[in-house]
Amino acid sequence: MRDKWSSNLGFILAASGSAIGLGNLWKFPYNTGSNGGGAFVLLYILFLVIIGIPLMLAAITLGRKTELSVFGAYRSIDKRWAFVGTLAIICGFIILAFYSTVGGWVIFYLKSAIVGDLSTTDSAYLNSLFDNLLNSPIELLSYQFIFMIATILIVLKGISGGIEKASKIMMPALFIMIIIIAVRSITLKGGIEGIEFLFVPDFSKINMNVAMNALGQVFFSISIGIGTMITYGSYLDKKDNLLSTATLIPVLDTIIAILAGLAILPAVFALGFEPTDGPKLMFVTLPAVFSSMPFGYFFSLLFFILVLFAALTSSISMLEVAVSYFVDEKGKKRVPTTIITGGFIFLLGVPSSLSLGAWSFKVLGNLNFFDLYDKLASNILLTTGAFLLAIFVGWVLTPEKAIEEIESSKIEFKLAKIWSLLIKYVVPIAIGIILVNSYIDFIKSVLGIE
C-alpha cells in the first residue's frame, strides 16, 4: 500500500519545509538589500499572489489527482508529457548535488559555532575560515557526506514515518528560532533603519530589473519546477482541502523570508555591515554581526541550527522526488533505493564541493562545476519544469478537470474562473519571461560572455 501523510498538518509542514531553505535565509535578505528594500518586498508579495499561489495549487492538484510520482503524474494523463517528469527528476539530482555542498558548509559552521570559532568580529579571520574550508577537500567532502547521510536516514523512514515526523520537529523549531533571532535583531540600537529599509517602499527604486528579481525570488523560493509539490501532493488524502493547503505553503514560506529579513537586515544596518554580500552574508558577515551582539555565541549557535533545519527539510524533499520515481514506476524497495540514490547524488556532488577550491578550473565557458550545476538546474531545468507545469495544467489536463479535483473535497472554489485565467495565460507568460532571460544568461555563461 502506498504511504500517506498521517495528517494535513504534516503535509503542510513538510511541503513548507521543502520550500523554505537556504534561499529564504540568505538569498531573500541579499536580494532585498540589492533591489531597493521595501520596493522589492512589495513586488515579491504581489507576484506571490498572482503567480506563486496559482502554480502551487496546480502542482498539488496534479499530484493528488494522479496519486503518482512526478513522472507518473504527467504520463498517466498524456504519455507525450512524461519527459517533463524526467526533467524534474534530473533537476532534483543536480540541485541536491550542489545543495549538499552548501549543506556541508552549514554543518561545518554549526560545529565552528559550538566550539567558539565564530566568536569574533575579525572579518579577515572569518574570511580565512571560509576560504580554508573551500580549500580543504577532506573537510569539505566529510561534511557533505554527513549532510547526505542525515538526508538519507530521514527519507529511509518513508513519508509518514520519516519526512513528516522530521518536519513536525524541525519546522516549529525553525519558526521559534528565527523569531528569537529577529526579535533580538530589531531591538538593537539603530535596527530601525533596517526595518524601514525592509518595509517602507521607495517606488523610485522600481524598475524592470527589480521586478525580474522579485519574480525570480518567488519562483525559485517555492521550487515548483523540481516536482516536489507534485510528489508530496500525491500522498495527500482525497478529503484534504487543496485550496487552503496551496495558499498556506507559500504564505508560510514568505513569512519565513520576511522573518529572515528581520533577523538579518536590522542587525546588519545597526552594526554597520553591508547587506549585499551574497553567500558571504551568511558565512562571514553574520558571524561578525552575532559576535557584535550581547549573547552573540548563543545567537550564532541558534542561527546555524536554524539554517541546518532549513537545509534538511529541503534536501529530503529533493531526494524523495527521485526515490518515489523508482519505488512507484520501477517497483523498487524504498530502503536500498534511498541508499543507492543518495550515494549516487553524493558522488555527483563531489566535483561541486571541490570546484570552489582544489578543482577551481572552468569546465564550460566561465563556469566551474558548482556554477554549472547551479545554473543548469536553477536557470534551465527548474524554470522549464515550472513553465511546462503551467502549460500542462492550463491546456492539457485543463483547468476544468483540475477544479473538479479541487472541489472533490466538498469545497467550493469561488475563485475558479480567476485561477483558470491565471494558470492558462498569466503564469505561463510570467515564467516565460524568466525562462528567456534564464536561457540567455546560461548561454552567455557557457560562451564565457560576462
Distances (CA, A) of 25 to 22, 53, 283, 365, 445: 5, 20, 12, 30, 26
**Residue 2 falls within a domain, yes or no?**
no
Range scoring the smallest mean pLDDT among 114-123, 132-141, 272-281, 286-295? 272-281
Range scoring the smallest mean pLDDT among 187-191, 245-249, 382-386? 187-191
**Residue 3 falls within a domain, yes or no?**
no
CB atoms within 10 A of CB 365: 16
Nearest CA to 21 out of 149, 126, 151 is that of: 151
Q: What is the predicted pLDDT for the residue at 425?
A: 96
Range of the domain at 305: 8-447
Torsion of CA 202, 207, 208, 213, to 10 degrees: -30
The grid coordinates listed for 75 are 504520463
**Residue 129 falls within a domain, yes or no?**
yes
pLDDT in tens, 297-352: 888 898 888 888 888 888 888 898 889 889 888 889 989 999 999 999 999 999 99
pLDDT class for 277, splitting at 50, 70, 90?
Answer: low
pLDDT in tens, 194-226: 889 888 888 888 887 788 788 778 877 777 778
Q: What is the predicted pLDDT for the residue at 392?
A: 96
CB atoms within 10 A of CB 153: 15
pTM of the model: 0.87
Burial 344-360 (b: 16+ CB within 10 A, else e): ebbebbbbbbbbbbebe
Give, as one character, the DSSP assignment of residue 80: G
What percentage of residues in the chain have a pLDDT greater than 90? 32
- The answer to whether residue 141 scores a pLDDT higher than 90 is yes
Q: What is the predicted pLDDT for the residue at 124?
A: 84
The grid coordinates listed for 223 are 521550487
**Residue 348 falls within a domain, yes or no?**
yes
pLDDT class for 2, splitting at 50, 70, 90?
Answer: low
Which H or E element spans position 216? helix 208-222
Q: How many domains does the chain have?
A: 1
What is the average pLDDT score of the chain? 87
**Residue 107 falls within a domain, yes or no?**
yes
Contacts of 351 (CB under 8 A, 6+ apart): 359, 369
CA–CA dist 278, 257 (Å, integer)? 15
**3 state SS of 297:** helix
Q: What is the predicted pLDDT for the residue at 339?
A: 96
pLDDT in tens, 82-134: 999 999 899 888 989 988 998 999 999 999 999 999 988 787 898 899 889 99
Longest dimension (CA), the chain: 61
- The answer to whether residue 23 scores a pLDDT higher than 70 is yes
CA–CA dist 404, 256 (Å, integer)? 32
pLDDT class for 3, splitting at 50, 70, 90?
Answer: low
pLDDT class for 435, splitting at 50, 70, 90?
Answer: confident
**Residue 30 falls within a domain, yes or no?**
yes
Task: Output the DSSP codes for 234-281.
Answer: TTS-TTS-HHHHHHHHHHHHHHHHHHHHHHHHHHHHHTT--TT-TTHI
Point out which residues pair with 79 in neighbouring strands. Answer: none
CATH number, residue 179? 1.20.1740.10
Phi and psi, residue 164, nearest 5°: -65, -45
Q: What is the predicted pLDDT for the residue at 299?
A: 85
- The answer to whether residue 42 scores a pLDDT higher than 80 is yes
CA–CA dist 181, 177 (Å, integer)? 6
CA–CA dist 213, 43 (Å, integer)? 9
CB atoms within 10 A of CB 404: 13
- The phi-psi region of residue 158 (left if phi > 0; otherwise alpha if psi is between -120 and 50; otherwise beta) is left
Higher pLDDT, 166 or 335: 335
Nearest CA to 320 out of 174, 172, 164, 171 is that of: 164
The grid coordinates listed for 324 are 518515489
Nearest CA to 100 out of 134, 130, 141 is that of: 141
Q: Are 207 and 25 in contact (CB under 8 A)?
A: no
Q: Which residue has the cell 531553505?
A: 21
Quote the Cα angle for 27-213-201, to 5°: 90
pLDDT class for 405, splitting at 50, 70, 90?
Answer: very high
The grid coordinates listed for 132 are 580554508
**Residue 77 falls within a domain, yes or no?**
yes
Nearest CA to 20 out of 267, 359, 314 is that of: 314
Q: What is the predicted pLDDT for the residue at 21?
A: 77
